[in-house]
Amino acid sequence: MSDNSEDELNCVDGVEETPWILYRNRDEWSDVTPLPQDDGPHPIVAIAYSEKFKDAYDYFRAILKSGEKSDRALALTEDCTWLNPANYTVWQYRREILQALGKDLHDELKYTDKMIKYNSKNYQVWHHRKVIVEWLQDPSDELAFTETILCKDAKNYHAWQHRQWCIQTFNLYDKELEYVEQLLKNDVRNNSAWNQRYFVISNTTKFEKEVIDKEIDFALEKIELANENESAWNYLRGVLLHDPNGLGYNEKVRLKCYRMYESGCRTNHLLACMIDISQETFTTEEFILSPYFVDSAIGLCKALSKKHDKIRRRYWDYIATVLQDKMNEELESD
């Protein structure tokens, strides 16, 4: 629960509104008997609600009980959402009032603009906007709107979730890759943008060979810019899941990793990728690309365990043991 300051409640976007008057002192509400919250006779930890909050919600409970759907009830829900934007019941009742009164839903979208500006990580506010867009069947403002939010917080989960819903529901994929590429140009480590790229590719292709090749090239290019960037490595692995040959037999990836290793790169993501390649192509015979020889892979596990990824030491020790056991079995079978 949030109890917004009076400045936020009564001065939105720099526009001064009328001074706050408690509902019990408003003549137009004199016919309503407020309904206090019932916390039982002996509340263990009573919440110290402000007088403003208790007053508004006492009246909200009263109209909720009576089922009143009027302009004044709608205005009351607006005050209540500002006082506590996470209250699901208030938002749900507001939607019922909007429908009952046949209100202009475009005006409601403008209202959510202000609410999200001050509560950009609040689920209920975003859910309300989603419902209004569904009712309107008009997503024309949504991509631009989410962009404004993402400009301030590029990893806002709710904004991305809303954007993906709009794109998928109303088939708005056309220019999304361009948008994502610009985000990655600005910040190659933006994991949300990488996720969005995978979302678009997954929903607009069947991961045909040319698509896989293109996306591998894209990921490797970004890895070249920041080889310690986990997001790009994860994206590469995600794309290779759709390659019939898998990670182990993609020569482009194998060669790139080998060259990075030979140039002195020791980022833990590179070493982990090389170990995975070795596991998929397991053999005791030494490859031309020597780092993929199983004995070399065991050495990579030890390097990760002792130096490059010590926080996951036990994991890499386990993988080294698995590889060693497989190698012993292979040698015994020969």
Residues across the chain: 334
In 3D space, the residue among 205, 130, 148 whose CA is nearest the CA of residue 173 turns out to be 205
Q: Is 102 left (phi over 0), alpha (psi -120 to 50) or beta?
A: left
Q: What is the dihedral of CA 100, 105, 107, 111, to 10 degrees?
A: 90
Which tokens is 28 given?
A: 């137009």
Catalytic amino acids? 121
In angstroms, the CA 21 to CA 292 distance is 74
